[in-house]
């Protein structure tokens, strides 16, 4: 089959690789129909994730058609399914508590040691994201093996298009959980840092969960325009002092909940590189830690801080005293995708979410290298890229219909 | 502004001060060590809830123990911990042959395609609670151990603890065995214990077997 592979820093290539096989009874194989490039894929692209090995198949936002099932799979051939990026067994202590991204079985024995050393406990498994989360092949490919296929995949009714439901794999539930974690009370003012795809779904989710107003912070005009389209008030941080603006917009008390959708978005490091990587992370992420620090300082006393943005290690100059003295509640974590799949699918069917207008481009799998380049260099124009193995090379369509604000 | 030479302390005084500080520090350290020893003697009767194999040890272990939480009932796990099932979840174990009288012979993969044989006797079984074993003189590597099953609180299943001790191997297979066991014995046991957990909770041993663009790898085999 053809698959998008990581070959090194800024080196993405589409290669012919072996097809996946059913290995365990609960496995299924799907033929991918749509697969998106995630913001966190950029960190692989930039070489910030040393747990990667040349030849790894990337991608963790994907959906497709079931073509083969293991003896214990509950899926049926021909079903359309969206695959959560988190691999979860459904039967361990964590999965039973619906803390699916903390699954204690999906990270294999061979790969869990490194993340246990780094994080204190082994992270759960994930598709296409380095070897600290299990070393599973990703979804930017023609076919993928799905472990525990009786638990994760979301079966999609035929009347829903791929674009309507693809983001159930990651960014929609991630934005939803970010808002749920902000414990929003009716009428609350919620501030959201970062208007990438996760931030955009966080804005929609916060309003659905009863926020009176959402204030979104970014600097890319197109992304701020999307935030406005989804109902947020917007702040361009290159034009205002964000803390002053937030204070003035809330009578001086600050937002009730602050959500950091910026993050470091790197999942960790290999054992032998830990010390080096910590240094690299600190140097590379000053601005992003700045966003989190700003969120803590801006939040009202007794408010809530939700962190869906991914951090990989130790933060420098973290305002712990401010966090404590102001009595903030903090919630964070990788997304427990399987916990929200059902209700979010219902909400999509009920027309509650705009899941389509943030997609700026469709392209074939063969054009992946070029698309990664655009995604990396032109973040204003490229707000979300969906790759379709069914398209022919060069068959790229831009669907940017926005009027810049 | 530079300081004049007269402002600098005499080197001899500096050296004497340094020696004095060193003496003080050494003295304080010795005194503290003795005090620590004495107080430990007095505290011998004070209980601790830490497992005994974690006490007074650095992290580099020859005797080691590892516990995992397994979300299954205690009797089920006890019943599953049988030599016949070991090859299902113990990575290096090729085969376990029953020699009768609770003695079993383990064939273990060693580096360079060779094999090591362990001959272990189960010395005690406490129904649904623990299994103890001890190697026989025929074993290439002297070892003993215990696997313990304890109810986890709040219906969370069972804590399974594996405690293993082994003698540093010597003799004709010494080098080979040393390479095998001293490489990372704790890691091996920990991984096997996690495979047991995977098998009991999910019905299968987790694998990341999947394709890559690395020619040497099979999409049906796990990889690091």
Give the nearest partner residue to B71 out of A26, A93, A108, using CB atoms.
A93
Q: Is the pLDDT of residue A59 over 90?
A: yes
End-to-end CA distance of chain A: 43
End-to-end CA distance of chain B: 62
Average pLDDT over residues A93-115: 94
CB contacts of B190 in chain A (<8 Å) are: 109, 113
The pLDDT value recorded for residue A267 is 30
Residues in B 135-164 with any Cβ partner in A closer than 8 A: 156-157
What is the distance between the alpha carbons of residues A231 and A204, in angstroms, rounded to a whole number? 7
List, for residues A318-347, the tens digit of each pLDDT value: 899 999 999 999 999 999 999 999 999 999
Output the six-digit token pair for A150: 């009786």
Q: Do B208 and A136 touch (CB under 8 A)?
A: yes
| CB contact at 8 A, A104 and A93 | yes
Q: Is the pLDDT of residue A106 over 90?
A: yes
Kindly list the distances between the CA atom of residue A57 and the CA atoms of A64, A135, B35, B131, B216, in Å, as whole numbers in the listed order. 17, 9, 60, 44, 15
| CB contact at 8 A, A253 and A300 | yes
Give me the percent of chain A exceeding a pLDDT of 70.
92
List, for residues A259-271, the tens digit of each pLDDT value: 999 876 433 333 3
CB contacts of B201 in chain A (<8 Å) are: 89, 91-92, 105
- Nearest chain B residue to A1 by CA distance is B211
CB contacts of A136 in chain B (<8 Å) are: 208, 210
- Nearest chain A residue to B213 by CA distance is A55
Residue length of chain B: 224
Give the nearest partner residue to A105 out of B191, B198, B210, using CB atoms.
B198
Give the nearest partner residue to B214 out of A55, A96, A106, using CB atoms.
A55
Q: Within 10 A of A289 (CB to CB), how many other CB atoms are there?
A: 21
What is the distance between the alpha carbons of residues A234 and A293, in angstroms, rounded to a whole number? 19
Instruction: Region of A218 please: left (phi>0), alpha (psi -120 to 50) or beta.
Output: beta
Output the six-digit token pair for A34: 């749509």
Q: Do A109 and B220 touch (CB under 8 A)?
A: no
Output the six-digit token pair for B30: 């010795």
Helix (H) or strand (E) holding B118: strand B115-126
Helix (H) or strand (E) holding A373: helix A368-377
What is the distance between the alpha carbons of residues A400 and A222, in angstroms, rounded to a whole number? 9
| CB contact at 8 A, A310 and A262 | no
Q: Is the pLDDT of residue B44 over 90?
A: no
List all residues 6 or more positions away from B215 whose beta carbon is below 8 Å from its beta carbon: none
Residues in A 138-157 with any Cβ partner in B closer than 8 A: 141, 144-145, 147-148
Concatenate the DSSP letters of all residues of A342-376 into one string.
HHHHHHHHTT----STT--EEEEGGGHHHHHHHHH
Closest-CA distance of chain A to residue B92, Å: 13
Closest-CA distance of chain B to residue A196, Å: 30
Output the six-digit token pair for B170: 């010597």
What is the distance between the alpha carbons of residues B84 and B109, in angstroms, rounded to a whole number? 17
Give me the percent of chain B exceeding a pLDDT of 90.
43
Closest residue by Cα to residue A196 from A262, A291, A110, A264: A262
The pLDDT value recorded for residue B35 is 57
What is the distance between the alpha carbons of residues A264 and B105, in angstroms, rounded to a whole number? 51
Q: Is the pLDDT of residue B43 over 80?
A: no
Q: Does A125 touch chain B (CB under 8 A)?
A: yes
Phi and psi at residue B67, to the nearest 5°: -115, 140
Helix (H) or strand (E) holding A332: strand A329-332
Query: Which of A69-83, B41-55, B98-112, B114-128 has the highest average model confidence (pLDDT)?
Result: A69-83
Report residue A162 CA to chain centroid gap: 18
Q: Do B212 and A105 touch (CB under 8 A)?
A: no
Average pLDDT over residues A84-100: 98
Instruction: Find the radius of gyration of the CA atoms of chain B.
Output: 26
Closest residue by Cα to residue A375 from A388, A365, A385: A385
The pLDDT value recorded for residue A270 is 33
Q: Does B192 touch chain A (CB under 8 A)?
A: yes
Average pLDDT over residues A369-391: 95
Q: Does B197 touch chain A (CB under 8 A)?
A: yes
Average pLDDT over residues A113-136: 90
B124/A317: higher pLDDT: B124
What is the distance between the alpha carbons of residues A138 and A141, in angstroms, rounded to a whole number? 7
Give me the percent of chain A exceeding a pLDDT of 90.
79
The pLDDT value recorded for residue B36 is 54
- Nearest chain B residue to A127 by CA distance is B208
Q: Does B194 touch chain A (CB under 8 A)?
A: yes
> Up-side HSE of residue A404: CA atoms within 13 Å toward CB?
6
List, for residues A193-204, the tens digit of each pLDDT value: 999 999 999 999
| CB contact at 8 A, A263 and A309 | yes
CB contacts of A90 in chain B (<8 Å) are: 202
């Amino acid at each position: 089959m053809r698959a998008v592979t990581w070959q090194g820093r800024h080196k993405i290539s589409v290669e012919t690789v072996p097809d996946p096989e059913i290995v365990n009874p609960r496995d299924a194989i799907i033929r991918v129909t749509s697969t998106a490039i995630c913001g966190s894929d950029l960190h692989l692209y930039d070489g910030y994730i040393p747990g990667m090995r040349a030849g790894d198949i990337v991608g963790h936002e994907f959906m497709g058609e079931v073509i083969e099932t293991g003896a214990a799979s509950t899926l049926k051939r021909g079903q359309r399914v969206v695959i959560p990026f988190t691999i979860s067994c459904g039967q361990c202590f964590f999965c039973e508590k619906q803390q699916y991204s903390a699954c204690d079985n999906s990270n294999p024995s061979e790969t869990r040691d490194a993340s246990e050393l780094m994080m204190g406990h082994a992270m759960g498994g994930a598709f296409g994201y380095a070897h600290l989360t299990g070393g599973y092949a990703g979804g930017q490919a023609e076919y993928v093996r799905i472990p525990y296929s009786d638990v994760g995949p979301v079966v999609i009714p035929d009347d829903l298009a791929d674009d309507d439901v693809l983001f159930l794999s990651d960014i929609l539930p991630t934005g939803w959980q970010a808002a749920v974690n902000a414990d929003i009370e009716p009428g609350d003012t919620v501030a959201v840092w970062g208007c990438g795809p996760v931030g955009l779904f966080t804005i929609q989710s916060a309003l659905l969960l009863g926020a009176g107003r959402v204030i979104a912070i970014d600097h890319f005009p197109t992304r701020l325009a999307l935030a406005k389209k989804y109902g947020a008030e917007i702040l361009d941080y290159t034009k205002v002092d964000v803390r002053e603006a937030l204070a003035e917009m809330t009578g001086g008390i600050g937002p009730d909940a602050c959500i950091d959708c910026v993050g470091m978005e790197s999942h960790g490091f290999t054992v032998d590189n830990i010390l080096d990587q910590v240094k690299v992370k600190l140097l590379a992420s000053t601005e992003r830690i700045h966003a989190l620090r700003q969120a803590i300082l801006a939040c009202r006393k007794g408010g809530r801080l939700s962190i869906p943005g991914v951090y990989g290690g130790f933060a420098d100059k973290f305002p712990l005293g401010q966090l404590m003295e102001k009595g903030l509640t903090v919630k964070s974590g990788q997304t427990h995708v399987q916990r929200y799949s059902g209700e979010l699918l219902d909400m999509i069917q009920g027309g509650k979410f705009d899941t389509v207008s943030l997609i700026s481009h469709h392209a074939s799998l063969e054009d992946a290298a070029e698309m990664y380049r655009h995604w990396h260099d032109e973040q204003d124009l490229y707000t979300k890229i969906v790759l379709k193995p069914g398209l022919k090379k060069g068959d790229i369509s831009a669907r940017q219909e926005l009027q810049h604000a | 502004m530079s300081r004049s030479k007269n402002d600098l302390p005499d080197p001899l005084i500096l050296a004497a001060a340094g020696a004095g500080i060193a003496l003080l520090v050494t003295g304080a350290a010795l005194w503290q060590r003795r005090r620590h020893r004495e107080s430990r003697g007095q505290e011998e009767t004070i209980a601790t809830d830490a497992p005994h194999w974690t006490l007074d040890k650095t992290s580099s272990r020859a005797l080691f123990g590892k516990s995992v939480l397994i979300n299954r009932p205690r009797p089920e796990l006890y019943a599953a911990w049988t030599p016949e099932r070991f090859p299902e979840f113990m990575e290096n174990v090729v085969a376990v042959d029953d020699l009768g009288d609770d003695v079993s012979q383990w064939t273990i993969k060693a580096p360079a395609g060779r094999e090591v044989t362990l001959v272990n006797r189960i010395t005690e079984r406490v129904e649904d609670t623990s299994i103890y074993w001890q190697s026989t003189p025929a074993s290439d590597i002297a070892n003993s151990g215990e696997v313990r099953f304890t109810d986890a609180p709040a219906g969370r299943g069972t804590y399974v603890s594996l405690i293993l001790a082994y003698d540093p191997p010597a003799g004709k297979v010494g080098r080979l065995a040393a390479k095998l066991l001293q490489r990372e014995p704790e890691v091996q046991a920990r991984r096997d214990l996690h495979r047991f957990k995977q098998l009991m909770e999910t019905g299968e041993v987790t694998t990341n077997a999947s394709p890559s663009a690395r020619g040497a790898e099979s999409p049906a085999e796990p990889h690091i």
